[in-house]
Amino acid sequence: MQYDNSTLTITSIGTPDPFVTVFRGRYYLTFTAGNRVEIWSSRSLADIESAADRHVVWTPPQGTDHSVDLWAPELHALHGRWYVYYAAANPAHGNKSHRMYVLGGPPASEDPCRGQWEFLGRIHAMPDHWAIDGTVFELNGELYFAYSGWPPDNPDDSDLIQQLFILKLDDPTSAASPAVVISSPLHDWEITREGNGTNHGINEGPQFLRSPDGGIAWQGLVFSCGGSWTHEYKMGLLRYTGGDPLNPASWRKSDEPLVQTRRHGTGPFGPGHGSFITLGGQVVAIYHATDTPTDGWDNRRARAQRVAFTEQGPYMGRSLGMDLQKSDGGLVRRMKQRLGMSGKSRAEQASEKSLRTLLGNSPDRV
């Protein structure tokens, strides 16, 4: 299969955990800003940083259980209203106090950046344990909520294991079922080893994805794994195979990652926490990645890349960045890559230009 693996960087500043929504000819980008929920709105995704209207729709009051470390906000239109789902923590207790919260906005027929927003609190009847990266999706006519959490039986508040949970929603702010574990970090590529005997098994950032045929060929969750502070961060697949979504047997994990950085590649590094949009029948992933393998949590910039679909499911080339150990393009090209110069072939430049053109148009003109 011929696959165009062009990657387009769409922000020059850190915009970790990017989530993009399309509405009435505009792109709406949310990301982890830390102390607020901010939405960027633009008719061009390729130029969203320079062209966007920027709106802070929520700044939490100080001294509450949800005042700090606002992570991974997502904007969703559900049941006639705009909602934002995000994680937040209590400043007195730090990371272990992260829980999922919901904001309610204007009617879904209106621009989400123009109306009033209100704090709705936690999702009612959701288990009270560490939870981040919540996302909402419809499956079989029902609304579901997937998130990353520590195991409920975790008296020491250990952060070494993160699992993926799912629960059914009665409405956008109320759980209608217990939370069920549908994925635990079992593959070697889901685990980050510190070298001192400490291993982090991480599943987080779930995002629902359907093939362009409406999910007939493939539907399921794309998730992130490995340490988000490392260049080993990557994305994997959890396919929905049918049946009750609350049954763990209804989900099948891929044997290999969907996309990761080449072992000896030039970057971007640590591709993860992606969201997905469909433009003109093409599926595009928007995820964060860093420019160097040592950036850690800094410089996680939003990138865009096409997603193809094969008989096995979504395909993104499996790895990013030219392999410096291979002689494709010669020594001069590899040296340019190391020095941050282009070093791209004409075909690669043309592919990147094509992707920029796709994302530079208003979504209603694609």
Assign 134 to helix, strand or coil: strand
φ/ψ region of 243 (left if φ > 0, alpha if ψ in -120 to 50, else beta) reads: left
pTM of the shown model: 0.93
Assign 365 to helix, strand or coil: helix
The predicted pLDDT at position 354 comes to 87
Q: What is the pLDDT along the chain (366 residues), one digit of tens a residue?
A: 678 778 999 999 999 999 999 999 999 999 999 999 999 999 999 999 999 999 999 999 999 999 999 999 999 999 999 999 999 999 999 999 999 999 999 999 999 999 999 999 999 999 999 999 999 999 999 999 999 999 999 999 999 999 999 999 999 999 999 999 999 999 999 999 988 889 999 999 999 999 999 899 999 999 999 999 999 999 999 999 999 999 999 999 999 999 999 877 788 999 999 899 999 889 999 999 999 999 999 999 999 999 999 988 999 987 876 545 554 445 444 444 454 545 566 767 877 888 999 999 888 776
The predicted pLDDT at position 61 comes to 98
Closest CA to 126 of 96, 141, 146: 146
The predicted pLDDT at position 343 comes to 56
| CA 282/CA 279 separation, integer angstroms | 5
Closest CA to 364 of 305, 278, 285, 283: 278
Which residue type occupies 61?
Answer: P
Q: Is residue 168 a contact partner of residue 108, using CB atoms and an 8 Å limit?
A: no
